[in-house]
Amino acid sequence: MLSKSIVHVNLSSNQFSGAIDSLIFKSAGFLFVLDISNNAFFGSLPHVNRSISSTIMYLDFSNNNFTGKIPSLGLLQEVVLPANKLSGQIGEGIVGLINLRVVALYGNEFTATIPYNIGKLYYLEKLLLHSNYLNGSLPQSLMNCSKLEELNLRINFLQGELSILDFSKLLHLKTFDLGNNFFSGILPSSLYSCKSLSEICLPVNKLEEEISRCNNLRTLILSLNYYNESFLGDDENLIGPEGFQNLQILGLGGCKLNGHVPWWLSRLSKLKVLDLSQNQVQA
């Protein structure tokens, strides 16, 4: 049992093992932070009863061997549970944590869809669900998470037309990574209206050719898309005053693009990494 007066516990990166009893939260009524990451704990995740422990805001249980589903987690602001063996649906319980800023559930075995009403998480800043077995499409309500800065859903089984989504409310979005899924269609122009956006990673999907201007963008990775299409045009606006002037990394490998290398590539003065491998382009 923990002392009732304790507020911060960090047991990370040790060799602890065993199960975690929910009574730990009852005995430490003022606990604010609990970090037990990088150990060998196992079993089900403990319940956090908000009527017993209303102070705890941050849980880091990453890199353990927890299994099962996500239980009630009180009034948390950060749920950090990557690299475990959690499975099943993410569950509507997560949506009930209206103060959440960070949801990090990557590297687990979650299936089914992303909760359809995840847009209720008004304060959400990071949604990290990559490397799971999620399916279905992106919920429309996600576009209501106006404080979102990082969206990483890569390496799942998600699908659907990205063009039907309106990203214009996500003005704080910096990182947009949906790589290694089954998304199709074109990139919506509203995505480029996200003024803070600096990284778009969409390799290994089924996207069609269309790229709009985005002056703040530094990373654009679209490898293994656009199969057998002509190169991305000679549109001088791509490198104009509102074009890709700050682009540093451009990945278009494995797209089987054909035609000539467009002249505007030579105008990307800040470009450091260019991947045109496994295409059919000509000088």
User: According to the model, what pLDDT value does residue 27 have?
Assistant: 66
Which residues, at least 6 apart from 220, have a Cβ–Cβ distance to it below 8 Å?
200, 211, 244, 247, 249, 250, 251
Global pTM reads 0.90
Whole-number Å distance between alpha carbons of 39 and 42:
9
Domain ranges of the chain: 209-283
- Gyration radius of the chain over CA positions: 22
Whole-number Å distance between alpha carbons of 57 and 283:
57
| Better pLDDT: 214 or 224 | 224
Whole-number Å distance between alpha carbons of 65 and 239:
49
Is residue 76 very low, low, confident or very high in pLDDT (cuts 50, 70, 90)?
confident
Whole-number Å distance between alpha carbons of 16 and 30:
23
For the segment 185-194, what is each residue's pLDDT rounded down to a tens digit? 888 889 888 8
Above 90 in pLDDT, residue 264?
no
Please work out, in degrees rounded to the nearest 5, the angle formed at the alpha carbon of residue 101 by the alpha carbons of 87 and 23. Answer: 60
Cβ atoms of 74 and 92 within 8 Å: the answer is: no
| φ, ψ for residue 191, nearest 5 deg | -65, -35
Cβ atoms of 187 and 211 within 8 Å: the answer is: yes
| Better pLDDT: 267 or 114 | 114
